[in-house]
Chain A
Amino acid sequence: QQQVKQSPQSLIVQKGGISIINCAYENTAFDYFPWYQQFPGKGPALLIAIRPDVSEKKEGRFTISFNKSAKQFSLHIMDSQPGDSATYFCAASGNNDMRFGAGTRLTVKP
């Protein structure tokens, strides 16, 4: 049972462009929505996270948009850089349980 659905599976963006990754969740008990970034050979690292009491959170070039009624949230990477090339995972958690999306492999072309 996939509790968090993530799209697209892969994404290619030109340097300076905007990368957008979308996620949808099912369990309304989830109350914390983080995004993780993973480079080859490393474990995922927390990038940015949001709680459902706000609709948007921005940290530098990274923004989470959250739509509670639609049970959807997305990650926007502004001015994408080649160094942003990595796999991104959305997650949803609550009640001592965190579930992850399937991941998006982002490639930023110079």
Chain B
Amino acid sequence: KAGVTQTPRYLIKTRGQQVTLSCSPISGHRSVSWYQQTPGQGLQFLFEYFSETQRNKGNFPGRFSGRQFSNSRSEMNVSTLELGDSALYLCASSLDASYGYTFGSGTRLTVV
């Protein structure tokens, strides 16, 4: 079966702009979680959605937001981009947020 698909794979944006990243989960998976990965910081939890509802949120500023659609696809948005937002953004889907995460290959965001 198809895995988790993240688009785009690479993105270059200018400071101050906004960006939207997309994640299509594995068919049947209703939970989608987002993580930011930077060198030395590991995987920092952004938020988790289940059936269009945000159930958990990490310690990121309000510039980071997300949503989930009825088909379980999810988007995350970052407004007013800062240089420090440059990172690999990973999406993971699962049947239940507690178990069996499958990750996508990520979107590499570079802010210049």
Residues of A within 8 A of B (CB): 1, 6, 31-32, 34, 36, 41-46, 49, 89, 93-103
Contacts and interface: CB of A to CB of B under 8 A. Distances in A.
Contacts of A34: 101
Contact of A97 (B42, B43, B56, B92): B56
A99 B45 contact: yes
A43 B98 contact: no
Given A45-B103, A46-B100, A96 B56 contact: yes
Contacts of B35: 100
Interface of B: 4, 31, 33, 35, 40-43, 45, 48, 50, 55-56, 59, 90, 92, 96-106
A99 B98 CA distance: 10
23 contacts: A6-B42, A31-B98, A32-B99, A34-B101, A36-B101, A36-B103, A41-B105, A43-B92, A43-B104, A44-B103, A89-B42, A93-B98, A96-B50, A96-B55, A96-B96, A96-B98, A98-B33, A98-B97, A99-B45, A101-B42, A102-B41, A103-B42, A103-B43
Given A44-B90, A96-B56, A32 B106 contact: no
Please report whether the interface of chain A is mostly helix, strand, loop or mixed according to DSSP: strand
